[in-house]
């Protein structure tokens, strides 16, 4: 009996040690693994489209080729048309900040409130002037993060140039990879993981694929809304709000507050900020009642407190990526926990 306990404890020790070593290895080669992870994640998102084309009697290779070409054209269109517009809007906004502040200053003087709030205006001006470079760097860093984590441009190009190739081959053999992984897990005795894999996959699909489409639609709706209102920087704020909508609450809060400030500073009246409030309210109603229920379907089944906690933990550990992935991971943990609890 004692020998059996020692054997079990030694086996657990080996499992823990192996897990630590694997995590350490992943950390050491994370820059190399990143393009593979990106390619696999994109393939995961695109695989249902390939499967649907296969159901229409296209062979797998042709289906992959069609999806790959369409996806590549979309990415190229974003890089060539949307990114330049956003960067141009950022530059214009940064150059006009002193002008906006002067306009605000003049408006305040008209209403004889200048003596009361002059100290605050001076502080704001001083802060903006001192931190203008920092603000510019923060805004431009958003695009640098999207480009990758490598500082050396040549290494970045060489390393990430394989992503399209990886996407093509991952898509081509995606179903085979999934099937072989399930078979391997079954042979290793992880039957519970295999049994729960469909439920896990359903959760991940409903979140990532659905949330991606929702974010794109919200980016378009926010941009169009702000263009109608006449906000300078409408496309930048709209697209940024759509991207940040991958994290619940964040996209709406950032977009709404930024748009409200821009409307007030640029137009110096109450009508345009009210139009912003009305526009964001309409978009939020459409998103809550039409877009999300139709595309994402049912929620992840997490309590609002659990959602906030998961986002905060994910953000503190892994930044924006952690905030995006925190909710599906929390949902998976919940499913596993409830299953084990009910089993016990």
Would you state the pLDDT for residue 150?
45
- Residue 301 to residue 326: CA distance in whole angstroms: 14
Angle between helices 234-244 and 83-110 (to 10 degrees): 110
Cα–Cα distances in Å, from 256 out to 131, 253, 278, 283?
23, 5, 11, 11
Reading the chain (344 residues) residue by residue, the pLDDT tens digits are 555 555 556 666 676 777 788 778 877 777 788 788 888 888 988 898 899 999 998 999 999 999 999 999 988 888 888 888 888 888 888 888 778 777 777 766 666 555 556 666 666 666 666 665 665 666 566 555 555 544 455 566 666 788 889 999 999 998 888 888 777 766 765 556 556 667 677 777 777 777 888 899 999 999 999 999 999 889 999 999 998 888 778 889 999 999 998 898 888 788 999 999 999 999 999 988 888 777 765 556 666 677 778 878 877 776 766 777 777 777 777 776 665 555 55
- Residue 236 to residue 98: CA distance in whole angstroms: 19
- Residue 274 to residue 42: CA distance in whole angstroms: 39
Dihedral class, residue 248 (left if φ above 0, else alpha if ψ from -120 to 50, else beta): beta
Residue 43 burial (CB count, 10 A): 23
Sequence ranges of the domains in the chain: 10-92+145-188, 190-298
Would you state the pLDDT for residue 110?
65
What is the 3 state secondary structure string of the chain?
Answer: CHHHHHHHHHHHHHHHHHHHHHHHHHHHCHHHHHHHHHHHHHHHHHHHHHHHHHHCCCCHHHHHHHHHHHHHHHHHHHHHHHHHHHHHHHHHHHHHHHHHHHHHHHHHHHCCCHHHHHHHHHHHHHHHHHHHHHHHHHHHHHHHHHHCCCCCHHHHHHHHCCHHHHHHHHHHCHHHHHHHHHHHHHHCCCHHHHHHHHHHHHHHHHHHHHHHHHHHHHHHHHHHHHHHHCCCCHHHHHHHHHHHCCCCCHHHHHHHHHHHHHHHHHHCCCHHHHHHHHHHHHHHHHHHHHHHHHHCCCCCCCCHHHHHHHHHHHHHHHHHHHHHHHHHHHHHHHHHHHHHHHHC
Would you state the pLDDT for residue 149?
47
**269-274 long-range contacts, CB within 8 A, separation 24+:** 272/229, 272/230, 272/231
Would you state the pLDDT for residue 192?
60
């Amino acid at each position: 009996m004692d020998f059996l306990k020692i054997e079990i404890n030694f086996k657990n020790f080996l499992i823990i040690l192996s897990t630590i070593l694997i995590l350490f290895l992943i950390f050491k080669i994370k820059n190399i693994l990143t393009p593979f992870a990106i390619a696999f994640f994109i393939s995961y998102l695109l695989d249902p489209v390939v499967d649907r084309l296969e159901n229409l009697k296209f062979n797998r290779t042709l289906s992959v080729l069609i999806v790959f070409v369409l996806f590549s054209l979309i990415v190229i269109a974003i890089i060539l048309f949307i990114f330049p517009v956003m960067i141009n809007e950022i530059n214009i906004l940064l150059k006009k900040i002193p002008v906006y502040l002067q306009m605000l200053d003049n408006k305040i003087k008209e209403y004889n409130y200048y003596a009361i709030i002059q100290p605050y205006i001076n502080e704001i001006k001083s802060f903006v002037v001192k931190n203008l470079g920092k603000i510019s760097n923060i805004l431009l860093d958003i695009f640098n993060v999207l480009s990758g984590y490598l500082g050396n441009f040549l290494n970045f190009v060489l390393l990430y140039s394989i992503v399209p190739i990886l996407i093509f081959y991952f898509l081509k053999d995606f179903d085979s990879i999934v099937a072989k992984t399930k078979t391997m897990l079954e042979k290793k005795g992880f039957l519970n993981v295999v049994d729960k894999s469909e439920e896990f996959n359903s959760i991940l699909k409903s979140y990532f694929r659905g949330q991606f489409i929702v974010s794109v639609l919200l980016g378009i709706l926010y941009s169009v809304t702000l263009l109608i209102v006449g906000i300078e920087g409408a496309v930048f704020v709209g697209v940024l709000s759509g991207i940040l909508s991958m994290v619940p609450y964040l996209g709406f809060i950032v977009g709404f507050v930024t748009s409200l400030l821009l409307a007030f500073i640029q137009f110096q009246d109450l009508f345009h900020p009210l139009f912003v409030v009305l526009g964001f309210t309409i978009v939020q109603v459409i998103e809550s009642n039409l877009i999300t229920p139709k595309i994402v379907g049912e929620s992840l089944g997490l309590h609002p407190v659990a959602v906030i906690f998961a986002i905060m933990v994910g953000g503190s550990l892994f930044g924006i990526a952690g905030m995006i992935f925190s909710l599906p991971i929390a949902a998976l943990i919940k499913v596993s926990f409830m299953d084990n609890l009910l089993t016990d």
